[in-house]
Amino acid sequence: MSQYILRRLALVLPVLVGVSIVVFSMVRLIPGDPARVMAGEAASEEVVEMIRQQLGLNEHPVVQYWIFLKNLFRGDLGRSTLSRLPVLDEITAALPGTLQLAVASMVIATALGVTTGLLSAVRPNSWVDALSMFIALVGVSMPVFWLGLMLMLLFSLHLGWFPTAGHGTWRHLVLPSITLGLSSAAIIARMTRSSMLEVLRQDYVRTARAKGVPERGVVLRHAFRNALIPVVTVMGLQFGNLLGGAVLTETVFAWPGIGRLMVGAITARDYPVVQGAVLTVAVGFILINLLVDVLYAYIDPTIRYD
């Protein structure tokens, strides 16, 4: 197992080089000049040209990439073209916010999603099932900026329970993680339900029931564990999405995270920050995928990686 993990970790490097090439060329292919954005609309061409020189934007892209790669291996992601601050500082400042939000909303999503999925599967086509799947549908369909504002209106303005927006205490975390967690919860619920329904039709479940195992034991011990593999896969994907894709929730709740950092940087053509942030999210994705694969073996002992 540990050998497998090591092998997988060694694969991280080529993947990152691939990601960096794609990001590096993509940001340069979109029109727009970082030096112009940085200098502002009033700047003269002379100033813009000077900045272009200082940022090395006049070098050949291949040379630029080579410099970027060399610095990367020294742990230097460069400086933001916009703020002139080190990219690493910008990312380390945004990372805790992203992780807090991702973990909190994942906890909510899992608790809600798995419970409703289970309840629906146990009583398929009952009113419980219809109701929870309807809620799940609403959960997936609701745009986060609308849901977020509605939660703010109710819980901040009228009830005064939670702060409207910002970052700081655990109370700041409640509304954004509910907003973000709900749509993931809906997806997890639907996955749990269909996976459970399939497992509940298996012969070994019938055998367990025939042996006289109480229904509770049948569902939780015999069926649920076997239904978990696709659920864990979906959870892994959702968590990965939360790392870089929470930009709307982050914006609505003024939550400082990687998503906003990245979108702001793309808008300003801040190449070094875009590159750094995308690489960080890519590393996150790779690690989560690895974790999910390791979890498979834990859930289902017949899966072995040796």
Partner 1 sequence: MQSIRRAAQLVAFVSLVLVLSVGSAFAQSRLIIASGTDAVTLDAHRITDSPSATVSEHITEPLFELTPDGQIVPHLVESYEVSDDGLVWTLHLRQGIRFHDGTPFNAAAVKYNLDRILDPANAVTFRFLIDPVISVEVVDDYTVRLTTGAPFAPILAHLTHSSIGMLSPAALERYGEDIARNPVGTGPFRFKEWVRNDRIVLERNPDYWGEPPQVDEIVFRVVPEDGARMLMVQTGEAHVAVRVPPDMVSVLERDPNVNVVFTPSVRTIYIGFNTYQRADRPKNPFTDVRVRQAFNYAVDNAAINEFILGGMGRPSDAPIAPGIFGYAAIGGYEYNPEKARQLLAEAGYPNGFRVQFYSPSGRYLKDLEVAEAVQAQLAEVGIQADIVTLEWATYLDATNRPAHENEVPMFLLGWGTVTGDADYGLYPLFHSSQWVPTGSNRAFYSNPRVDELLDRARTTPDDAVRRAAYEEAMRIIMEDAPWLFLHAETQITAIRSNVEGVIVHPTERIIASGARIR
User: CB within 8 A of 79, min separation 6: which ones?
Assistant: 85, 86, 87, 272
Residue 260 CB, shortest distance to partner 1, in Å, is: 5
152 contributes a contact to partner 1 by CB under 8 A: yes
36 contributes a contact to partner 1 by CB under 8 A: yes
Task: Specify the residue, 223 or 268, whose C-beta has the smaller distance to partner 1.
Answer: 268
| Token output for 7 | 């092998």
| Token output for 267 | 């808008």
Task: Specify the residue, 36 or 209, whose C-beta has the smaller distance to partner 1.
Answer: 36
**C-alpha span between 225 and 124 (Å, rounded):** 19
Task: Specify the residue, 47 or 237, whose C-beta has the smaller distance to partner 1.
Answer: 47
SS3 state at 80: coil
For residues 239 and 303, the answer to whether their CB atoms sit within 8 Å is no
Task: Specify the residue, 68 or 255, whose C-beta has the smaller distance to partner 1.
Answer: 255
Task: Specify the residue, 24 or 255, whose C-beta has the smaller distance to partner 1.
Answer: 255
165 contributes a contact to partner 1 by CB under 8 A: yes
For residues 59 and 33, the answer to whether their CB atoms sit within 8 Å is no
The one segment of 8-16, 67-75, 87-95, 203-211 that binds partner 1 by CB under 8 A:
87-95
**C-alpha span between 250 and 253 (Å, rounded):** 5
- C-alpha dihedral sign at 260, 263, 268, 274: positive
For residues 164 and 120, the answer to whether their CB atoms sit within 8 Å is no
**C-alpha Rg value of the chain to the nearest Å:** 24
| Token output for 123 | 């009583």
Count of residues near partner 1 by CB under 8 A: 55
For residues 195 and 230, the answer to whether their CB atoms sit within 8 Å is yes
Task: Specify the residue, 134 or 146, whose C-beta has the smaller distance to partner 1.
Answer: 146
Residue 245 CB, shortest distance to partner 1, in Å, is: 16
User: In the range 196-225, which residues lie near partner 1 by CB under 8 A?
Assistant: none
Residue 257 CB, shortest distance to partner 1, in Å, is: 8
Write the interaction track for partner 1 spanning residues 233-262; mark x where CB under 8 A is met and - where it is not: ------------------xxxxxxx--xx-
Residue 24 CB, shortest distance to partner 1, in Å, is: 17
Phi, psi of 115 (to 5 degrees): -60, -50
10 contributes a contact to partner 1 by CB under 8 A: no
Task: Specify the residue, 13 or 30, whose C-beta has the smaller distance to partner 1.
Answer: 30
Residue 164 CB, shortest distance to partner 1, in Å, is: 5
81 contributes a contact to partner 1 by CB under 8 A: no
